[in-house]
Amino acid sequence: MTDNPQSSPTGSSTGKSKSNWIKSLFLSVFVLAMGAGITALIFFTEPRAVRVGATKETAMLVEVTSVKKGTYRPTLTAMGTVVAAEDLTLSTRVEGIVVKRSPAFTPGGQVTKGHTLLRIEPVDYQNTLQQKKTALDQAIAELDLEMGRQSLAQKEFEMLGEALSDRDKALVLRRPQLNTAKSKVAAARVAVTQAELDLRRTRITAPFDAHILSRDVNVGSRVSPGDNLGRLVGVETYWVETTVPLSKLRRLSFPKRPAETGSPVRIRHKTAWPEGLYRDGRLHKLLGALEEKTRMARVLVAVDDPLNIRSPDTDRPPLIIGAYVEVQIQAETIDNVFRIERAHLRKGNTVWLMKENRLRIQPVRIAFQNEIHAFVESGLTDGDRVVTTNLSTVAEGAKLRVGRQRARDNSTADSGRDAGAPDVRTSAGGSR
């Protein structure tokens, strides 16, 4: 019997598996290709954003105030220290024991000119004066005797009738002895005068109306010439020493003659005096040296009757030596200027104006400025609207719109006083 050849089961299975793998590969490649094609189609055909119009410009909301030219008297504020116009350390010219003291000669006391403060024991000086007077009487008697001798010598010389030289004649007539006697009398008179002066100096008196700041001696103290007895300050006038910028001096008035008065000044002590109380003063002198640290001008403000001695019933507060006070100096009147708040004066001396609803940066010229206001002499016109709002972005020509317009600040144009000066309270008897 002849066997027929047949396919092997293992070979048939391998061919079928290979065919399935090729189909899977083609299917995978096809899916990937289709995915890539679809992705490319989406990427190249996606819609694009197109700008269809420009950004709309929005006007900035601002506040403005109108200005008008006027006449003002600005106030310059500074700080200063109260000092005495007359400050004296009392001392003695003679030596001795203090035997008497005035009750008024005590710290805080007040005395008038010529008031006896201390008395040094005078007995020794009284005795010395008596001795000098006795010596003077003796010298005068000696002079009288010598004049009698000279008269006798003159008669004897005339009786002699001889011609002598001038030198011999002076000796014969006792002229040297007469000159000596006269000199002794003159010296004795000077000694009496000095003894009288020393006796008067045992009374220590006040050289002016004074306030006693300190006392360094008491009854029983032994004092010598040059010893400090106490400290006195005059009560007629106190000074306030303050500083002002050099650029402000041309607007301040100082007296050039005794009859003139300087710019008015108001003195306030905010930490010690009630609100509204102040003292009136005046500019007195411009000192000849700048303040070393700030390089500002030093000025003196005079305040009369600082302790209210002449007006004891007034409610004006007294000044105290060494107090640190505020001074408000009225500058000279400035005509034809615009007054704006200093905060509205921008960088580089410019002002922001609103012109036709747009921002204009306007350069201006400043006549004077203090801590509150600036006074513009050129660069503005009547009715100009000054932008008072602080803007974060500033550009010439930027659009503006008004949120609120403030009332025009010209309340003091007629009164001539700067509104920056604080309001003050006055008593029924008048201003303080």
Question: What is the reported pTM?
Answer: 0.70
**Residue 25 pLDDT:** 74
Distance of alpha carbon 36 from alpha carbon 46, whole angstroms? 15
pLDDT digits (tens, 9 = 90+) for 51-77: 544 445 688 899 999 999 999 999 999
Residue 324 has pLDDT above 50, yes or no: yes
Give the least confident one: 85-99, 189-203, 212-226, 401-415.
Answer: 401-415
In 356-409, at which residue ranges do the beta strands (DSSP E only) sit? 358-363, 365-369, 373-378, 385-387, 400-406
Short-list 211, 256, 261, CA closest to 236 = 211
Tokens found for residue 214: 């300190």
Average pLDDT in the chain:
84
**pLDDT value at residue 158:** 62
pLDDT of residue 220: 93
**Predicted local distance difference test score (pLDDT) of residue 5:** 45
Range 76-85+236-330 classified under CATH 2.40.30.170: yes
Q: Is the pLDDT score of 424 beyond 90? A: no
Give the pLDDT confidence score for residue 178 in this predicted structure. 75
Neighbours of 304 (CB within 10 A): 13
Supply the pLDDT for residue 165: 64
Which whole number is the average pLDDT over 396-424? 58
**pLDDT over 70 (residue 250):** yes
Q: What is the CATH number of domain 61-71+334-406?
A: 2.40.420.20
Q: Which of 26-30, 196-200, 268-272 has the lowest mean pLDDT?
A: 26-30
**pLDDT band at 148, cuts 50/70/90?**
confident
- In CATH terms, 93-119+203-235 corresponds, of 2.40.50.100, 3.90.1150.10, 3.30.1360.40, 2.70.50.60, to 2.40.50.100
pLDDT at 166: 63
What is the spatial distance between Cα 286 and Cα 241, in angstroms, rounded to a whole number?
10
**pLDDT in the model for residue 191:** 95
CA angle, 312 as apex, 307 and 314 as ends, to 5°?
95
The pLDDT of residue 42 is: 73
Average pLDDT over residues 312-319: 87
Eight-class DSSP state of 245: -
Task: Give the separation between CA 268 and CA 331, rounded to whole angstroms.
Answer: 17
- Per the CB < 8 A criterion, the answer to whether 69 and 324 are in contact is no
Residue 157 confidence (pLDDT): 60
Checking if the pLDDT of 8 tops 50, the result is no
